[in-house]
Amino acid sequence: MNSKQLRLFGSIMPVMYGVIMLAYGILWFAAMGSAQMNDDTILTAVRAPWWIPLSVLGYAGVLAGIPAFASFYLSHRDRAGRTGFLGALFMVWALVIQGSSVSWEIAIYPLLAKLNPEIISSGVIYQNPVSGSIYLALLVFMISGSIMTGISLFRSGNVSKISALGITIFGALYSVVVMVPPAIGAPVMVLYTLSVISAGISMLRHYTRD
């Protein structure tokens, strides 16, 4: 793969990441509606036939996000500086943590729901200090990573400033989407993913002109 092909691949990955996560978010909110995410709601969702396919879709989105944010940095690494590098690094770390969490949703949660549902309904998983620490690390890395990535993209001029601003603002809010009512979470999800898609399209147009 030559350098131009690598740049084109890097431009496509943010579009894929954004599209997959947008589809995931729409399907998630369509399935869950206005239900609050408490322990019994989670158990009911895990038992639903759509849980595993939707989780697999989310996992695919997370995997696409890792090269997507790496490509954001590589697209302007000469000007990104420390802010751009740390932003990409923190986002990759956040997505690795998120991916490991989603893999449990695919492989472990359905087994627990079938064999020992009390583990889910009691909330013991989420009350565990280790789980809390992991989720806190995810929040810190995703919030700081999205803000720093958005700032570096805003300065670079490689993507539209609106897209960079969307990644900065809504990327930070996206971390807590599952903790807020759907009326608030859904618009945040849409605006964040559209910002990522728009940034990827801007990069793709730039590289196809070269």
Q: What is the per-residue DSSP string for 41-85?
A: HHHHHHHSTTHHHHHHHHHHHHHHHHHHHHHHHHTTHHHHHHHHH
Judge whether residue 210 has pLDDT over 60.
no
- The pLDDT tens digits for 77-119 are 878 788 999 999 999 999 999 999 999 999 999 999 999 988 8
**Cα–Cα distance, 149 to 77 (Å, whole number):** 11
- Please give the radius of gyration of the chain, using alpha carbons only, rounded to the nearest integer: 18
Residues near 163 by beta carbon (within 8 Å), at least 6 away in sequence: 153, 195, 196, 198, 199, 202
* pTM confidence score: 0.88
The pLDDT-based confidence of 21 (bands split at 50, 70, 90) is very high
Where in the chain are the domains?
3-209
**Cα–Cα distance, 167 to 160 (Å, whole number):** 11
Give the mean pLDDT of the chain. 85
pLDDT of residue 159: 82
pLDDT of residue 111: 93
Classify residue 48 by its DSSP letter. S
Residue with tokens 């690795």: 96
Q: Which two tokens stand for residue 139?
A: 């929040």
Judge whether residue 15 has pLDDT over 90.
yes
pLDDT of residue 96: 95
Mean pLDDT of 39-50: 86
